[in-house]
Amino acid sequence: MTALPLDDNSCGWYQALPAPTPARMLNGKHNADYVVLGAGFAGLAAARRLAEHQPNARILLVDAQRVAQGASGRNSGFVIDLPHKFALEHPDPAHKQKLLGLNRAAIAQLQGLVDQHGIDCQWSHAGKYQGAVGERGEAFLDHFAHLMKDLGEPYRRVEKQELAGVLGTEYYSRAIFTPGCYLMQPAALVRGMAEHLPDNVELLEQSPIRGLQREQGQWRLQGDEGSITTPRLLLGTSIFTREFGYLKNRLLPVMTFASWTRPLTDEELARYGGQLNWGLTPADHAGTTVRMTADRRLLIRNTYKHVPKYGANVDEGVRKKIRADHRNAFVARYPALAEVPFTHTWGGVYAISRNFTNFFGQLEEGVFASACDNGVGAAWGTISGTLLADLAVGADSRQLQDIRQVTGMPSLNPPEPFLGLGVKSRIRLAKWQSRSEI
């Protein structure tokens, strides 16, 4: 038995979508040439690429939930081209250039799908602000500018007055704008891609896999109402990879949380006074992410929790406290909109590793995985899922060589209870250190 996702039902991105069509679920016994577990960014990309390589193969894409209910539909809607903040510290410039190239290949791929299928997901080449509130944040900004200069990437300093004209708040002292980021509605993008899969990819939703075992050179996946036998299994299961016995004690389950408002009225929009459709990430790693969506919603994201039992670690009392913290961050930035209510507060689970290393590759005969996106799943999931399919069929490429060079084995974690105590202490310390930026 595996521990299944226990995501809340209050994700604003998902609830803003029309009700989905009825799910096709796993029933009876099936044989497939390939099975992809997890229909997020990685799984969708892997299934699509497999179908391109093997148009006559039977490919099953299986998810325990509805598409977009999991982590891929719960992020803050950034598709970032730059290496993650920690990866930017890597001493080898070639390593960072490979990451940059992989992320941009993912963006181009997503752009192509949005254009080809007319996916309505607020996709836009909006760039991204990295904002500082005070001296601590500004020190991080100065360091970020230094890293951008070393990387040879364009950036622009945005001072307080200009920034306030964009954000509709004078809360931030300054920011750095980088042009390569795209913004989108994540649940709409993920669902849209699932609705336009190749003909030989069969999507099975609400079909949790409870067991995995090797039988006569094949893998048997056992569900509640059926089973699948396949010679090749691709795992796009992120943190849940460990539930199948792989990368155990190497992945850390962390949940981050967001709240958003209803769409602002015309009068509220006038009081707000800023622009639509922008995204700001914090200069300080533990600070607050803010979005203004294309459809007039303000989103606040902060608060991190170690969740060894996934969604079971978060009850309504915890969510209520997080919502209050988000409220404080919102009112601090937008006091003139203090009466505008939040309509949704939600969390999403993702995997990080102690050495901030992504896993990509073959786990054992017939089993391949991309796991541990370290919090930057949209671009990384897309390109890693695509290249995992290449690896599974034996199709070599420069990009495949690059991703194998920039990935590795996540570090082993200390045993419990030391792991839980250490992670919780580190999160509390980061929150205290970053309190002026939250």
**Position with higher pLDDT, 418 vs 148:** 148
In percent, the amount of the chain with pLDDT more than 70 equals 99
User: Phi and psi dihedrals of 117, rounded to 5?
Assistant: -105, 0
Residue 375 has what pLDDT?
65
Cis peptide before 198 (omega within 30 of 0): no
pLDDT band for position 185 (cuts 50, 70, 90): very high
Report the DSSP beta bridge partners of residue 59.
Answer: 34, 201
In percent, the amount of the chain with pLDDT more than 90 equals 87
Q: How many residues does the chain have?
A: 438
CB atoms within 10 A of CB 105: 19
* Cα gap 266→261, rounded to integer Å: 14
* Cα gap 437→87, rounded to integer Å: 22
Kindly report, residue by residue over 301-338, the tens digit of the pLDDT: 998 899 999 998 999 999 999 999 999 999 999 999 99
pLDDT band for position 428 (cuts 50, 70, 90): confident
Kindly report, residue by residue over 333-370, the tens digit of the pLDDT: 999 999 999 999 999 999 999 998 999 999 999 999 99
Taking a C-beta distance cutoff of 8 angstroms, is the pair 34, 232 a contact? yes
Residue 1 has what pLDDT?
56
Domains of the chain: 12-73+188-251+357-411 (3.50.50.60), 125-183+252-354+421-433 (3.30.9.10)
CA dihedral over 403, 405, 409, 410, signed as positive or negative: negative
Between vectors from CA 16 to CA 13 and to CA 18, what angle results, nearest 5°? Answer: 125
pLDDT at 376 over 80: no
Residue 435 has what pLDDT?
85
Structure tokens at 138: 């500004």
CA dihedral over 369, 406, 109, 129, signed as positive or negative: positive
